Amino acid sequence: MRGKLPFPTWILKTQVKVYQTDLSEDGEPVEEMIFDGLAFYDETARQVLDAERRLVQLSGKVIIQGDILSDKLIQGYVMIGSVKRTIFRSARPRNPDGSVFSTELELS
């Protein structure tokens, strides 16, 4: 089976906005909206260890259909309604043919 898996679009219920945060040449933060649309939001809280072996409390996960920012690291925050959540980690699961199935953002 070499092809694309069908994405379950019926789970996309939550309106989210994803912002990419970079530093300008002057060292000031620059925000750019990279996604505005429906996504799946899971509010399940859990704890993980970061790179320095510190315990981090995660507040949920957002799953968006496809790739929202090709070949770049996603850093910034997600607005869910009026609530601002920081992106802790991102992942891009792949289809059997190598294309990106979804973008998963873990939130802290």
Model pLDDT for residues 60-100, shown as the tens digit of each residue: 999 998 888 887 888 999 999 899 999 999 999 888 888 88
pTM of the model: 0.84
- The answer to whether 16 touches 34, Cβ cutoff 8 Å, is no
Q: What is the rounded end-to-end Cα distance, in angstroms, of the chain? A: 36
Q: Among candidates 37, 35, 43, which has minimal Cα distance to 15?
A: 37
Give dist(CA 92, CA 100) in Å, integer: 6
Please count the other Cβ atoms lying within 10 Å of the Cβ belonging to residue 87: 20
